[in-house]
Amino acid sequence: MNEGRATRRVLMVMPSPALVRAAVAAGLEVWAADTRLPELEPDPSHPAGPPPRRLLPVDLMEPATLRATLEHTVRANGIDQVVCSESEVRAVLGPGPGARAGAVLREISQGLGRPWSVLPDTVTLRRLLQQGGYAGPHLADEPPAGPRFRVRTLTVDGMHLVVDITALKPAAPPSEAERAGIRATVRALLDLAGFEHGSAQTEAVLTTDGCHIVRIGV
């Protein structure tokens, strides 16, 4: 059990290269388990990444094999936290296999004392943002018009690292002030939601009134 101890070593399952780089840049020791390991190997333009010995080939379609590999890695290396995007696992593996792999990952994370954070429902999130002083509309059925951006974050011990901000459709790059507004609004949402551990993807829209949250998922 690692409850109460600061996270230093993370095991990331099916991470994007950008997520790995963000974790390494934040000073974390990273192990990565995936079926697509060549994508995670360091390259000259982005040298930051785990050394080859920390890149673990896994078969996410076989829950028993997945469990054995991850449990051994956790024990042998003193892993503090398991990080994975359940939505991405389901998208890649399909609903059935994705759910089975997710169950294994949640159980291992629970055993470390750092269960994956769960987001409140949309109504609660909207209320939390309003109470926090973030004027809406947020998470509306019909969001306001404006350029939309996907924001990927990695949260470790309540610290929200913004991995990247990507335009969902061709648009003029946001100014630094607009990017700062997006980062601040997304981090505020995660804080208000009590999100402590894991990765999340948030969709935000920029309007003349500032940044508005369209949707969020883990």
DSSP assignment of 81-147: EEEE-HHHHHHHH-HHHHHHHHHHHHHHHHHTT-PPP-PPPHHHHHHHHHHTT--S--S-SSPPSS-
pLDDT of 42 reads 55
CATH 3.40.50.720 segments of the chain: 9-111
CATH fold for domain 9-111: Rossmann fold (3.40.50)
pLDDT of 41 reads 59
Range 66-95 average pLDDT: 87
Range 34-54 average pLDDT: 65
Proportion of the chain above pLDDT 70, given as a percent = 91
CATH 3.30.470.20 segments of the chain: 122-217
pTM to 2 decimal places: 0.81
3 state SS of 200: strand
Is pLDDT of 181 > 60?
Answer: yes
What mean pLDDT value characterizes the chain? 86
What's the full length of the chain, in residues? 218
State the amino acid at position 56 in one-letter form: L
pLDDT of 214 reads 94
CB-side neighbour CA atoms (13 Å) of 193? 27
The angle formed by the CA atoms of residues 169, 172 and 178, to the nearest 5 degrees, is: 100
Angstrom distances, CA of residue 37 to CA of 33, 68, 78, 90: 8, 19, 22, 18
Range 154-167 average pLDDT: 91
Phi, psi for 90 (deg, rounded to 5):
-65, -40
What is the domain class of 122-217 according to CATH? alpha beta
